[in-house]
Amino acid sequence: MRTAGAILALVLWMMPDESSAALELDLPGKPTLSAEVIRNPDSYMLPVGPWTDGRIPTTQVSGRVLQQAWRLQASGITTGQIIAPLRKQVTDLGYEILLDCSGRQCGGFDFRFETRILPAPDMFVDLFDYRFLAARKRNGPKGEAISILVSRSAGTGYVQLIQVTPTGGTPVPTRPADSEKETAHSGVTEMPPVAEEIESEGHVILRDLEFETGSAQLGPGPFPSLVALAEYLRANPSRRIAVVGHTDSTGTLETNISLSRQRASEVMTRLVEKHGIPAGQLESGGMGYLAPVAPNLTGAGRDANRRVEAVLVNSE
């Protein structure tokens, strides 16, 4: 029996001499496609084992590589509950599971940063709470494979799908069951779950803020994350927030700490002057590149590290 939530359907079209089958994944809430990248041809190093001896065991698969990131409402459910229906129906379609692991079993930080993952904010991965599954078709064309990565933050679930279709195969269209394809980039109107995340995690990344490169000047906005943070502070006048700036590792530590402090101060000023938040509820600071969330070895890692966070200081 289907749940009341929306269903994300992966319609899998087989080879011409085979019948088609549909893989329906029951996911709570309404799935939203936040990013899609197609490379044809391309190769993907499919993980087949956890991080060990300084590397991830992989097998190379080649062809058309489809990579998608989806968001869904995930209040009250775990990453294990999100991935369970995907695992079952992938095996029902004749895929052989090559790797099925979670967080530390996969290799934690090392596994997450050595496998292909779409950058934030499209895909979020909690280093202590994620699940990964890799599978290869038993009787299909050589190289037909799928990997699924699931994580969550507060009430939002994140699902990344990578599907490799070898030459001669037909790709898997991915769509919400109601055929309404929504993207998180198309004029963000929904309020980000700032209150839920800051209450459950103690901090939240204000992902939609925009600064000029090397500048502390905050863009004009409006920024939904600041609107949501201001609403949270107005509703909870006893809460105090530290606005903390972070940078990548380009440049000296002194320069980056100064820039991160200036950006945090700019955000704090915006909250006071534009949103009417009492200055007594706020403080600001900067960490430079001393608290990265990703390696600074890649562009994606540096992008993730350039951020401003709101940290819950106390509730007195």
Per-residue confidence band for 27, with pLDDT thresholds at 50, 70 and 90 = low
238-257 per-position pLDDT tens digit: 999 999 999 999 999 999 99
The pTM of the full predicted model, rounded to 2 decimals, is 0.54
Gap between the Cα atoms of 61 and 59, Å rounded? 6
Which pLDDT score, from 0 to 100, does residue 173 have? 45
Which pLDDT score, from 0 to 100, does residue 14 have? 32
Whether residue 5 contacts residue 29, with contact meaning beta carbons closer than 8 Å, is answered with yes
Work out the end-to-end distance of the chain between its first and last CA atoms, rounded to an integer number of angstroms: 47
Ranges of each domain in the chain? 7-176, 194-314
127-155 per-position pLDDT tens digit: 888 999 999 988 766 779 999 999 988 77
- 7-176 against 194-314: fold identical: no
269-308 per-position pLDDT tens digit: 999 999 999 999 999 999 999 999 888 887 777 888 889 9
Q: State whether the Cα torsion 89-91-97-100 is positive or negative.
A: positive
Gap between the Cα atoms of 68 and 161, Å rounded? 5
Chain center to CA of 244: 21
Per CATH, the homologous superfamily of domain 194-314 is OmpA-like domain (3.30.1330.60)
Sheet architecture: strand order including 7-12 = 21-26, 7-12, 174-176
Taking residues 213-228, what's their average pLDDT?
83
Which pLDDT score, from 0 to 100, does residue 280 have? 92
161-188 per-position pLDDT tens digit: 999 988 655 444 444 433 333 333 333 3
220's CB contacts (< 8 A; 6+ apart) are: none
> Would you state the CATH architecture of domain 7-176?
3-Layer(aba) Sandwich (3.40)
Q: What are phi and psi of 258, to 5 degrees?
A: -60, -45
Gap between the Cα atoms of 163 and 147, Å rounded? 7
